[in-house]
Structure 1
């Protein structure tokens, strides 16, 4: 389920990303951004159990 950008939230997103989206493409970009954020929200629902955070990975060769 897409996460909507109510009010001026989409304009704030553009300012944060330093993007200028032309008016004729704004709805397409808004819909795409909503879908991307919905996918990211799905990650919160995953049960990781005892999985260590990625920052705990030790890549040293021994």
Structure 2
């Protein structure tokens, strides 16, 4: 799970990183989920990718 903020709403929410299909910058960051739902977030594409990598690293460490 990663924490992101909706664009211009400043509402933070938790997103299941396993459901992310694509991330684009158009120039806003658009996250498309496996369900087809699209979310526009404040974070850059690089920031979202970094959060996903941190999340997955944390999972790996948990099961060692």
Q: Provide TM-score, normalisation by structure 1.
A: 0.38
As a proportion of its length, which structure holds more helix?
1
TM-score calculated relative to the size of structure 2? 0.38
Q: Which has the higher strand share?
A: 2
Higher relative contact order (CA 8 A, sep 6+): 1
